[in-house]
Amino acid sequence: MLKEVDHSQEIINSIKVAIGTDTAVLHEPRFNGNEWTYLKDCLDSTFVSSVGQYVDRFEKELAGYTNAAHAVAVVNGTSALHMALQIVGVKSNDEVLIPSLTFVATANAVRYCGAIPHFVDSDFGTLGIDPVALRDHLKTTTDFINNQCINKQTGRVIRAIVPMHTFGHPVNINEILAVARDFHLVVIEDAAESLGSTVSGKHTGTFGELGIISFNGNKTITTGGGGAIITNNTELAKLAKHLTTTAKLPHRWEYTHDEVGYNYRMPNINAALGCAQLEQLPDFIDAKRHLFVKYQSAFADLPYVRLVSEPVDCHSNYWLQTLILDETIAEERNDILAATNEAGLMTRPIWNLLHNLKPFKGCPRMDLSVAISLEKRLLNLPSSVHLGEENKL
């Protein structure tokens, strides 16, 4: 009898060859730059909270890096999404198009505005929204009334769309912008995972009206917890700053607030960490891109998997390395997850699709067959910066 191929063992061997060590976590932060210097300076200044120079500096440097006209630093990516949606006028009972294949924050932020997620299918190549399938869906299921896109089935206004750049790989943003123009939708980009990723040289998050970035501990750079809104629209940037800082009117001692605001401002101490991290971002991305090349050669001989690579004309930050199992071995996914994790190599499945989660079960959706297929077959691999560096410490 022929010996069956042990897929789990082959995958474990390939991961080890790629990363050059026997064990690894999924993604760990790295603090080898000016973190201690800036944090000490921040503590010495006593301005650790809502006042201090590091927030302004971080915003300026982030805007410079992304080539956005403005950046507004906030407490996390989820609050950035919440504010972005509110600022462009997403209201109670609106629908907002979002992928089913995304982190739960995208859908939660829609609900914070009282709006309803409308789930959209993904593309096998980018893992993000498929603009062709979406256009077909909107053509057959919506009408224009008073210049607004109306879901014929629910009668609700479809106000906005939130494309997400999955694991740092840019979505087909130009086609999505075209769909948004034709169906009168506002575009908010969930660029939480794609700091440093560009499309034809233009940074993700700067195509839509507003974009958001996350600096959570597991993202490409971290501020502990943190996020930002980026935009080229000066009015919207001002509004974002105002709303995220309790809507307080500037005055030396008076507390006057002209609307219901939010305490979403990034604390100075987090921004100090962010300034140090941002200095290292180009090196982090070089290492991550190099790690992809190493995975690519280590997996080249396994015909039953493929690695997700950057789309054409795009430059990806390769935040999380991603393996897709062939349909023929899809049912082995859980065995592969168990075997790799037991071997000390941390792997992870993709998020549960959002349309299946309890709070979003009844929400409108299009045919989601690509997302459903991807969910069954996708694994994230160890992706830390140090694994991709030539001279590992």
Ligand X SMILES: *Cc1c(COP(=O)(O)O)cnc(C)c1O
Q: How far is CA 203 from CA 52, 97, 146, 220, in A?
A: 28, 22, 34, 15
> Which residues, numbered 78-97, are part of the site for ligand X (CB under 6 A)?
78
The yes or no reply on residue 14 touching ligand X (CB under 6 A) is: no
Residues 224-253 that bind ligand X (CB under 6 A): 227
Find, among 316, 279, 324, 28, the residue nearest to 196 by Cα: 316
Look at the block and give the residue holding tokens 């996914």.
Answer: 333
* Beta carbon nearer to ligand X, 186 or 343: 186
Using the rule CB under 6 A, give the single segment among 32-40, 101-109, 154-162, 373-381 that binds ligand X: 101-109
Q: Which is nearer to ligand X, 14 or 222 (CB)?
A: 222
Contact between 105 and ligand X per CB under 6 A: yes
| Between 87 and 192, CB nearer to ligand X | 192
Quote the CA–CA distance of 367 and 137 in Å, as a whole number.
8
- Comparing CB distances to ligand X, the nearer of 39 and 320 is 320
| Using rule CB under 6 A, residue 316 touches ligand X | no
User: Of 71, 85, 115, 164, which lies in the binding site for ligand X, with binding defined by CB under 6 A?
Assistant: 164
Nearest in space to 11 (alpha carbons), one of 309, 342, 374: 342
> Is residue 253 packed enough to be buried (19+ CB in 10 Å), middle (13-18) or exposed (0-12)?
exposed
267 binds ligand X (CB under 6 A): no
Nearest approach, Cβ of 73 to ligand X (angstroms)? Answer: 12
Question: Is residue 265 classed as helix, strand or coil in its secondary structure?
Answer: strand
- Rounded CA separation 222/291 (Å): 20
Binding mask 175-214 for ligand X (x = CB under 6 A): ---------------x-xx--------------------x
> Which residue in the shown chain puts its C-beta closest to ligand X?
77
Query: Sign of torsion, CA 197 203 208 214?
Result: positive
Q: Is 76 in the site for ligand X (CB under 6 A)?
A: yes
**CA–CA distance, 1 with 44 (Å, rounded to integer):** 71
How far, in Å, are 12, 16, 24, 347 from residue 288 at the CA level? Answer: 19, 16, 15, 16
Which residue lies nearer to ligand X by CB, 78 or 277? 78
Identify which of residues 18 and 85 has a Cβ nearer to ligand X in the complex: 85
Contact positions vs ligand X (CB under 6 A): 76-78, 102-103, 105-106, 164, 190, 192-193, 214, 216, 227
